[in-house]
Amino acid sequence: MSLSWSNWSGSVQSSPKAIEAPSTIEALSAVIRSAPGPVRIAGSGHSFTPLVESAGTILDLSAFSGLHGHDTEALTATVGAGTKLADLTHLLQSVGQALPNMGDIDKQALGGALGTATHGTGPELGAYHTQLRAITLVDGRGEVRRYSDDTDSEMIRATGVTLGAFGALTEVTISNAPSYRLHKRRWSMPIGDMLADFDAFYAAYRSAEFYFIPFSGHALCLASDTTDAPVSTRPPEVDEDGIATLRMARNFTSRLPWLRRKLIGNALRKLPDEDYVEDWLKVYTSERETRFNEMEYHLPYEEGAKALAEIIALAERHFPEVYFPMEVRSVKADDFWLSPFYQRKTCSIAIHHDAKQSPKAFFAAAEPIFRKYGGRPHWGKMHSLTATDFAAIYPRWKDAMDIRRDIDPDGRFISPYLARIFGIEA
Ligand SMILES: Cc1cc2nc3c(=O)[nH]c(=O)nc-3n(C[C@H](O)[C@H](O)[C@H](O)COP(=O)(O)OP(=O)(O)OC[C@H]3O[C@@H](n4cnc5c(N)ncnc54)[C@H](O)[C@@H]3O)c2cc1C
């Protein structure tokens, strides 16, 4: 029987010889040593790049899940790397701890989120990998390695953004926040005002982002701050209705851009402002039903507004099929070697394209703009960069490659896609 694996958007299809789901470290070591290569580890398959694709073996590590221990004083928790974020939030809440921040969805496995430097928004909030305090991994020869921030801080920084190429993570210790509540607001405003007030917007809230709605002239702003106010319950989600409205406006007004602007403007005016208080784990994430493909670039923060203005002009002049909102976030700088936020405060701009249509032309036209402003691509989202490009934009690229070779000298985790990314001769 032939096996198949596909990512969330359907853009990556793979036919591995084996799909293995070991449940012990010994079994995992045996698979890494002897299963058909390349051995690629799958989280939840929510990356848009072919990181998990393998003609050899795809590894499912969901058996390595759950809360293994926690320290109430240090506010740390040790968890299986296969734990899904949706489960992790409840496990942490049950011991009075919380993730300091989250991205848009909670479907990822923790190991998968670490694999691509998954992030949320907030100028003082880092991506998930910045929470790492200890790592247990099985290397390319099936040996178990443990690194702790106390004794091996360099190794945590070298291997924390994994791309699934620095061993199979089985367990991690993460540092958390005490459980908290958030006051969340949503409102819309003209994009010109937002671009003029960009810095003030991000500086005003603990966590803020905005979506530019193509062909509308408007941004939808989301912001949250911690609060002691009582819970007031999150209103029902309307994101999917919004996407359907934008698609309809696109379909029926392709030759009448003024009508499209008017229809979307009316819909936005009718959208009620949102204002509620909820526990952290019920605020950050949403359900995403409509499948899309995505490109996201992480830019030096100061370049964000300029780059966004160019991307908007590009989409509205040349790509009338685009209807998904563009997401604009800010992320704190960190010091992980393969982190796109390495040593710089970041403005992240994400563009989306309906998964039923090819995103190639739009993304190919947008990418030079992102690159012109010094962007580094999200590891899990579509881009065209290869090893030479990465060596130029990651100051510790060579050091990271040396560590990768030490962890996986025989290239057991190296697929043709990773060989291209890392510049490894086939
Ligand atoms: C609807 C949607 C919303 C999204 N929202 C955001 C967002 O808000 N912010 C953001 O930054 N990204 C976002 N993403 C991208 C997503 O968070 C990343 O692509 C993430 O890596 C996916 O996690 P996953 O568990 O599906 O991992 P996969 O895509 O399955 O794998 C990602 C990488 O992690 C590796 N990996 C997985 N588990 C392990 C392990 N145990 N040990 C070692 N390596 C491992 C894999 O080999 C691979 O290289 C979104 C994606 C979608 C589809």
Banded pLDDT at 320 (limits 50, 70, 90):
very high
- Report the pLDDT averaged over residues 129-149: 98
Collapsed DSSP state (helix, strand, coil) of residue 297? strand
pTM value? 0.97
Residue 218 forms part of a structural domain: yes
Residue 415 lies in a domain: no
Residue 67 lies in a domain: no
Percent of the chain with pLDDT strictly greater than 70: 100
Sign of CA dihedral 398, 403, 408, 414: negative
For residue 413, the ligand 1 atom closest to its alpha carbon is: 47
Q: Does residue 354 lie in a domain region?
A: yes
Count of structural domains within the chain:
1
What is the mean pLDDT of the segment spanning 188-197?
Answer: 94
Atom of ligand 1 nearest to the CA of 167: 43
Residue 254 is part of which domain span? 181-377
Rounded Cα distance between 125 and 24, Å, is: 34
> Judging by DSSP bridges, how do beta strands 39-42 and 57-60 pair with one another?
parallel
Q: Is the CB of 8 under 6 A from ligand 1?
A: yes
pLDDT digits (tens, 9 = 90+) for 21-40: 999 999 999 999 999 999 99
**342-347, long-range: CB < 8 A, 24+ apart:** 342/394, 342/395, 342/396, 343/395, 344/300, 344/301, 345/123, 345/300, 345/301, 346/298, 346/299, 346/300, 346/301, 347/298, 347/299, 347/300, 347/301, 347/302, 347/303, 347/304, 347/305, 347/307, 347/308
Whether residue 45 has its Cβ less than 6 Å from ligand 1: yes
Give per-residue pLDDT as tens, 226-277: 999 999 978 888 888 889 889 988 988 877 888 998 889 888 888 888 999 9
Q: Is the CB of 108 under 6 A from ligand 1?
A: yes
163 lines ligand 1 (CB under 6 A): yes
> At residue 73, what is the residue type?
E
Q: CB of 380 closer than 6 A to ligand 1?
A: yes
Per-residue pLDDT at 426: 66
| pLDDT for the residue numbered 235 | 86
Residue 299 forms part of a structural domain: yes
Comparing CA positions, the residue from 313, 352, 350 lying closest to residue 328 is 350
In a domain, 348, yes or no: yes
Residue 144 domain-assigned? Answer: no
* pLDDT (0 to 100) of residue 249: 87
CATH classification at residue 257? 3.40.462.10
